[in-house]
Amino acid sequence: MNCNLNVNGFLFPIAIMKIISIIPLLILAPGFESLHCYLFAKSGHGLAPSAMIIYGQLCATFSLLVAGIYEIHRKNFPLVDQTLSGKVLQVSSMSAFHLAPQYALLGLAEALVIPSCSVITFRFAPSQIRGISMNFLTLFNAAGCFIGAIMVEVAFLASEGDWYPGLLVFGHLERFFFFLSSMMLLNTLGFWRICRRYVDLDRDTEQASRGGLLEEKLLLHERSLKFYESIFEWSSHFSPMETSV
């Protein structure tokens, strides 16, 4: 982190930004679950997991975009000395809390994506291997961290240290953020095209059962109308006196 952690004489730890990204996950994940239960009780179906993943990926895209914008903004601040772990480092005088929006968006993305991925994995997997499938989901989450590290190394080598400099005072780190944002947007569009094929069988089964009950009621109503119509046509051959008798 190349920002000033000293606020009014109090030196915040570097992990303060990580805490800011965790808070939305801790608060919003139960909130989204409560909203899902409310919608399920109200309309019979809750939030679509695929839509939640798309919204989460869009939040991650905006997080990287905001990070690139603030990186450009950071270069307008002069450097100051800051002591961390007994070492004096030169960092930007911009307050570290300017980075809070991008970390908050990242936490919101995690609150939207992680539970939805778990729900889809649990629904798609057969009951015999659901435990194994959830472990594979955790494995792929870890693999994503390694892929991110590989992307950083590739960006460093391809740009000769310009996109991911060793010292953030030099180079253009914002280009790397904008590159990741564009890649995330393409990933979101690709997932959106694929997820349209996803069909929630539970919702379709429930709607089909409701539709069956509705059709049954309409058929019963139609039979009643036909019954009364046949009575009316049959009684039309008699005189009013005979009908009364």
How does pLDDT run across 153-194, given as a tens digit for each residue? 888 888 887 887 777 777 788 888 999 999 999 999 998 888
3-class DSSP state for residue 27?
helix
Domain assignment of residue 1, yes or no: no
Tens-digit pLDDT profile for residues 48-74: 888 888 999 999 999 999 989 988 888
The answer on 232 and 183 residing in a single domain is no
The answer on 43 and 98 residing in a single domain is yes
Q: How many C-beta atoms surround the C-beta of residue 27 within 10 A?
A: 13
CB-CB contact of 57 with 181 (8 Å)? no
* CATH code of 159's domain: 1.20.1250.20
The answer on 235 and 147 residing in a single domain is no
What is the end-to-end Cα distance of the chain in Å, rounded?
Answer: 99
The answer on 229 and 142 residing in a single domain is no
CA distance readout (Å), 206 to 8, 36, 40, 210: 58, 16, 12, 6
DSSP 78: P
The answer on 237 and 142 residing in a single domain is no
Domain assignment of residue 221, yes or no: yes
Upper half-sphere CA count for residue 116 (Cβ side, 13 Å): 22
CA-nearest of 136, 142, 91, 93 to 118 is 136
Q: How many C-beta atoms surround the C-beta of residue 112 within 10 A?
A: 27
DSSP β-bridge partners for residue 95: 4
The answer on 190 and 163 residing in a single domain is yes
Q: Which residues of the chain have pLDDT under 70?
A: 1, 40-41, 43-46, 198-245
CB-CB contact of 99 with 212 (8 Å)? no
Domain residue limits at 61:
6-198
Domain assignment of residue 92, yes or no: yes
Q: Give residue 245's pLDDT.
A: 34
The answer on 211 and 194 residing in a single domain is no
The answer on 236 and 164 residing in a single domain is no
Domain assignment of residue 191, yes or no: yes
What does pTM read for this prediction? Answer: 0.71
Domain assignment of residue 37, yes or no: yes
Q: Give residue 182's pLDDT.
A: 92
The answer on 102 and 143 residing in a single domain is yes
Bridge-based pairing state of the strands 79-84 and 10-11: unpaired
Count of domains for the chain: 2
The answer on 240 and 172 residing in a single domain is no
The answer on 73 and 14 residing in a single domain is yes
The answer on 171 and 81 residing in a single domain is yes
